[in-house]
Structure 1
Amino acid sequence: MLRIHFTAADIVRIRFAPRPAPLQELHAALTTAVARRGGPLFAQWGGRVLRSLPAAAGALADLVPAGRPPSFLDVLGDTMADGFERIRTAGPGVVRSELERVYGSMAAPRWIRALHAGDETAWRTLHRAQQAAYETVLAPVWPVVQDLHRAEFTRYALTVAEHGVAAALTALAPGSRFHEGVWRWPGAAPARDVCLDGRGLVLLPTFHHPEGPLLQDVPGRSAVLTYPAGPGLPPTAGRAVVQVEALAAVLGRTRLDALRLLAEPHTTTSLARALRVSNATASSHAAALRSAGLATTTRTGRSVTHRRTALGTLVAGAGPP
């Protein structure tokens, strides 16, 4: 069981990653493929992934000789380049100690020994390996991952707005419990207790790791909990309509249309006309979006104007209504 201990300061510092992190999603995907987790459909997908990886990506396997990746790989970033730059900011002492930890008494490949010594060629080898794996595994489905993340972000935001943070946390992990400042995940292995001590927690969904949470707990930084989300199958490039369908399942089709229309200001009457619903129904949809922080309403005299917020724009994406 995983037990995460929150202080009052941690509760107010819980945040949901606004965008997927390509390096973390790549690491989750490769972990799933190598471990053949997630049942037969994920196993078939994992087999195809491993067979399709180019030779340049093979260096990544050298970083996990016993399934224990070095902690300096645990970074967030909006792009692969951003993620790699964050990896490069790890101090030489951290890199050396982590490589020594994962290898122990085992003999390390030459390029790992060079990385241990801080050699720039070895860092370029790591960068090429990550980029080659990303282009093969994630690049074809990255727009789908972004859409799934947006839908998950919406679901979390709505649950927080309607039921509070504790309900939103337990909704992320069916069977988990939040009681007296402790979030308990049954079945998570290995059993461990994590005390946040005011550092806060970042929630990051993954769509390539179907079993259990992945927790990054680096001293001095917010902990990052990567949890399994999505439809339960690895994303495929053919699911072009996933954004509309996933968001509509969370918001309802009419409310999603309202959110997208509110990219421009609308009165209740003009919104009702565009949605082809009554003024009362349009007002109800606007109120629900407002309560979730996705829209604002301003009143000037007898006129009421609705418009979506920055959060609403992030959730709605760039697609037309």
Structure 2
Amino acid sequence: MLRIELSTQDLARIRFAPQPAPLVELKLALMMLLRPDSEQVFGRWRRGLRQRLPGTTRPLWDLISAYTGPAFLDPLSTDLATGLDAVRAAPITLVRAGVEQAWAGRRGPMPPWLRDLVHGDVTSRERLCLGLNDAFDAAFGATWPQVTAGHKAELARYALDAAERGVVGALATLCPGSRLVDGCWEVDAPYARHVAAAGRGLVLLPTFHWTGATLVGDNEDQPLLVVYPAGPGTPVLPAAPGEDALAPVLGSTRARALRLLSDPLSTSELAANLAVSPGAASMHAAALREAGLIDTVRNGRAVRHELTALGKLLTNAAGMSFL
């Protein structure tokens, strides 16, 4: 079990990562690529990614296994270039500790490039960054808009839960089976770990290519990073030509309904635009309303649906090119 000790000060300092973190998502996706489980769900995705990964990514497998990867490989950043700069600037002590941990238990001598990396060789560090860059392009070149849309949808869900249930209630529903007990957030996990936020607070980061346990990054003088699996438990696959980036998150009809409601519509107008019955349109509107993405305003017997601030944030993040 994972137990995260939280003070009142920590609860006041919980924030949701504003955007997905490219290198965090990448490292977990590469770990998922190596795992033997979920083959029925992840099989197609794994086969496709293996075919796309170029030879420049080969060094990554000297550091990443099915369940672990050095912390210096996935700094928290909102864009790839900034993340790669952080990898280039990672303290040599952090790099050395990460390499030693990654290579522990492996047979045979450490590859020469990895030995050079441990000793601060700039060429080896650049070789690693090239591998990360090319792996990101192979894994997410066609799907990053969907990952971003999924992140915004998860942010909206958390914000709605926090507004309705408070921060404690929102945390308890963030990870299935988790709970707040005596000042500790307890999360079901196949490992035992106890960490204290110690006034630093938390940063919550959903990931969409990991079905394993919730993970915690604990760096001194920084908030605890809590990375948890989100989404439907399936990998994000490239959208078909013309497919809405929100469709894998909300479903194609609700994604189109959300975009249509950039201009307020009545239920009958929404039904006509979606080519569905008024009853079906009402059900779609209710689901979007429960997610905090639209508001419904009644004027006499008529009702009109319109986007909330969170709904506008989500549609803007995923682009408006599919209407």
TM-score (norm 2): 0.77
Contiguous gaps of at least 5 residues in structure 1: 262-270, 278-284, 296-305
Please give the secondary structure, in 1, of the residue aligned with 2:210.
coil
Q: Is the 8 A contact 1:37 1:43 kept in 2?
A: no
Q: Is the 8 A contact 1:24 1:76 kept in 2?
A: yes
What does residue 204 of structure 2 align with? 203
Please give the secondary structure, in 2, of the residue aligned with 1:60.
helix
CA distance in 1, matches of 2:55, 2:244: 33
Query: Do the aligned partners of residues 248 and 57 (structure 1) sit closer, same or farther apart at CA in structure 2, a change above 3 Å counting?
Result: closer
Amino acid at match of 1:117: H
Structural mapping, 1:1-321, within 5 Å:
1-64=1-64, 67-104=67-104, 107-186=109-188, 188-238=189-239, 240-243=243-246, 246=249, 260-261=262-263, 313-317=312-316, 318-319=319-320
Q: Deviations over 1:162-200 (max 9, x none)?
A: 1111221122211111223211112x1221111111111
Q: Is the 8 A contact 2:27 2:74 kept in 1?
A: no
How far residue 98 of structure 1 moved from its aligned partner, in angstroms, is 2.9
How far residue 44 of structure 1 moved from its aligned partner, in angstroms, is 3.9
Please give the secondary structure, in 2, of the residue aligned with 1:140.
coil
Contiguous gaps of at least 5 residues in structure 2: 271-284, 296-305
Query: Do the aligned partners of residues 191 and 313 (structure 1) sit closer, same or farther apart at CA in structure 2, a change above 3 Å counting?
Result: same
In angstroms, what is the RMSD of aligned CA positions?
Answer: 3.2
Q: Is the 8 A contact 2:87 2:129 kept in 1?
A: no
Q: Is the 8 A contact 1:247 1:256 kept in 2?
A: no
Amino acid at match of 1:142: W
Amino acid at match of 1:194: V
Q: Deviations over 1:249-275 (max 9, x none)?
A: 9x99877755x34xxxxxxxxx57899
The answer to which of 216-225 and 92-101 deviates more is 92-101
Amino acid at match of 1:109: P
CA distance in 2, matches of 1:308, 1:234: 28
CA distance in 1, matches of 2:44, 2:265: 48
CA distance in 2, matches of 1:236, 1:101: 32
* Count of residues paired in the alignment: 288
Query: Do the aligned partners of residues 253 and 219 (structure 1) sit closer, same or farther apart at CA in structure 2, a change above 3 Å counting?
Result: same
Query: Do the aligned partners of residues 293 and 196 (structure 1) sit closer, same or farther apart at CA in structure 2, a change above 3 Å counting?
Result: farther
CA distance in 1, matches of 2:26, 2:153: 20
What does residue 303 of structure 1 align with? none
Query: Do the aligned partners of residues 156 and 105 (structure 1) sit closer, same or farther apart at CA in structure 2, a change above 3 Å counting?
Result: closer
Query: Do the aligned partners of residues 74 and 314 (structure 1) sit closer, same or farther apart at CA in structure 2, a change above 3 Å counting?
Result: same
CA distance in 1, matches of 2:251, 2:53: 35
Q: Is the 8 A contact 2:258 2:307 kept in 1?
A: no
TM-score (norm 1): 0.78
Amino acid at match of 1:185: V
Please give the secondary structure, in 2, of the residue aligned with 1:69.
coil
How far residue 83 of structure 1 moved from its aligned partner, in angstroms, is 0.7
How far residue 315 of structure 1 moved from its aligned partner, in angstroms, is 2.9
CA distance in 1, matches of 2:66, 2:157: 36
The answer to which of 98-107 and 134-143 deviates more is 98-107
Amino acid at match of 1:200: G
Query: Do the aligned partners of residues 48 and 315 (structure 1) sit closer, same or farther apart at CA in structure 2, a change above 3 Å counting?
Result: closer
CA distance in 1, matches of 2:97, 2:66: 16
What does residue 277 of structure 2 align with? none
Amino acid at match of 2:246: Q
Amino acid at match of 2:314: V
CA distance in 1, matches of 2:183, 2:199: 12
Q: Is the 8 A contact 2:88 2:126 kept in 1?
A: no
CA distance in 2, matches of 1:7, 1:256: 41
CA distance in 2, matches of 1:105, 1:43: 28
What is the aligned-residue identity percentage? Answer: 35
How far residue 17 of structure 1 moved from its aligned partner, in angstroms, is 0.9
Flag as ranges the 4+ runs of structure 1 deviating above 6 A: 251-256, 272-275, 292-295
CA distance in 2, matches of 1:293, 1:199: 31
Amino acid at match of 1:34: L
The answer to which of 158-167 and 103-112 deviates more is 103-112
